[in-house]
Amino acid sequence: MSETEVPDNLRYTVEHEWIEKVGPGVVRVGITAYAQDQLGDVVFVQLPAVDDVVGKGESFAEVESTKSVSDIYGPLDGSIAAINDELDSSPELINSDPYGAGWLVEIVVGEDTDLGNLLEDMLDADGYRSVIGE
């Protein structure tokens, strides 16, 4: 198996989502290079609307590829602050740049939520590498 890109500055879930803190109480979420590689060519992405509520562990989006349709799960509780509109016309960005232009959504957590603790409870890069067998 070839080594998959797993940036050290991100947090991860066992469902193959990556999480990056982008502001106070705000995280950006996407799928990992490993996940997009397993999916194959992404042809369609169904994202939630801004202000939709996301629950930790609950499906909130779908990524459709030439191989299958996969649910995307909330890495934490919050609401959608932004969606990546570029994916409407260019879903292949998930394949070509999963950690950059291929991001999915930004989620804002409640004011009483300690985002730092939530992120610490997620997998770091080494933990995620062990999940994918690298």
Q: Looking at residue 2, what is its pLDDT?
A: 43
pTM metric for this prediction: 0.94
User: Which two structure tokens, joined as six digits, stand for 73?
Assistant: 């799960």
d(CA 65, CA 68): 5
Q: What is the pLDDT of residues 29-76, one digit of tens each?
A: 999 999 999 999 999 999 999 999 999 999 999 999 999 999 999 999
d(CA 69, CA 33): 16
Q: Looking at residue 3, what is its pLDDT?
A: 60
Hey, which residues does 11 pair with through a beta bridge?
19
- Count of other CB atoms within 10 angstroms of residue 66: 9
Q: Looking at residue 134, what is its pLDDT?
A: 82
d(CA 17, CA 31): 4
Q: What is the pLDDT of residues 94-112, one digit of tens each?
A: 999 999 999 999 999 987 7
All domains of the chain in start order, with CATH: 11-131 (2.40.50.100)
Q: Looking at residue 1, what is its pLDDT?
A: 33
